[in-house]
Amino acid sequence: MTRAAQDLHELYAARITDQTRRLTEAVAGADAAAPVPGLDGWTLAHLLRHVGGAHRWAETVIRTRATAPVSDDQVNEVTPGKDDDVPGLSAWLLEGAEQFAATLRATPEDTPVWTVAPSGKPVFWARRMTYETVVHRYDATVAAGGRYTLDARTAIDGIEEWLGFSTLPQAYASPEDQAALIAPARTLHLHGTDAPDDDGEAGEWLIDLGTEPMTWRRGHEKATTAVRGPLRDILLALYERRAPDAELQLFGEEDLFARWVHAAGDWLRR
């Protein structure tokens, strides 16, 4: 494994375990039956089962070197058991995250594996499970009545993962939904106001919806629609979530942002 890939595997392994630990800390003392806002009847028990199932599903893909789709029943079949409680589910969740991290660290970066989008490498699942956990940690935190924080570098990487997906046809419910967003000279600009000072390009993006296929790039450019605010809030907005203390500002064609996010996020919904 190259040093760069090893560092990337280690980065995501550490982020997954850290974000999972933070999630379990957020729900400590909460009721497993507490409803999760915005998730259509789910309780914390449903949510914890979903996240833990996702970790185990992705770990199976990597560990078995799967080259074809693996059943995702454990991701979607999340009906709580009669004895489910937060301590037990939290322990199970941590166990799965640690198992995923260990498998990732032990897997060469060039190992071919099945992925749901272009990549075919384990790092796809490392990154995807990181932000699956990051976003659902927000859901769990809100359900438990806590305050959600997220560091800028993690938010930046999560935003760029989402942007990469937003250009893919399979991210949309139909080709028509993607085509409806494209119009001459139509652009979006995202501006994170708390980006690190040591990277001049970090924290700003231009999404070009004026051509097919759609593209995105880092940089500060004028656009027909602009979104400005903390990186945490931008990432959450891409997943159609808004923290009670969010500080987002929208300029220009404001409804475009909501339509783009909803259409491009179809395959990541829940």
- What CATH number does residue 233 fall under? 3.30.1050.10
Rounded Cα distance between 198 and 96, Å, is 35
Specify whether 156 is located in the same domain as 227: yes
> 127 near 109, Cβ under 8 Å?
no
Pull the structure tokens for residue 69: 């789709």
Same structural domain for residues 133 and 179?
A: no
- Count of CB atoms situated within 10 Å of the CB of 146: 16
241 and 163 in one domain?
A: yes
Q: Answer for the pair 192, 204: CB distance below 8 angstroms, yes or no.
A: yes
For residue 5, pLDDT over 90 is answered with: no
pLDDT tens digits, one per residue of 95-138: 999 999 999 999 999 999 999 999 999 999 999 999 999 999 99
**Distance separating alpha carbons of residues 246 and 240, to the nearest angstrom:** 12
Same domain, 185 and 103: no
- pLDDT, tens digit (0-9, with 9 covering 90-100), for 8-43: 999 999 999 999 999 999 999 999 999 999 998 999
- pTM to 2 decimal places: 0.95
Same domain, 172 and 98: no
Number of domains in the chain: 2
- Which of 121, 143, 165 finishes a domain? 143
End-of-domain residue from the set 143, 168, 199: 143
Residues 200/229, Cβ–Cβ less than 8 Å:
no
**Tokens, residue 63:** 């560990």
pLDDT of residue 34: 97
Model confidence pLDDT, tens digit, residues 206-218: 999 998 889 999 9
Asked which of 108, 143, 178 is the last residue of a domain, the reply is 143
Q: Confidence class of residue 270 from pLDDT cuts 50, 70 and 90?
A: low
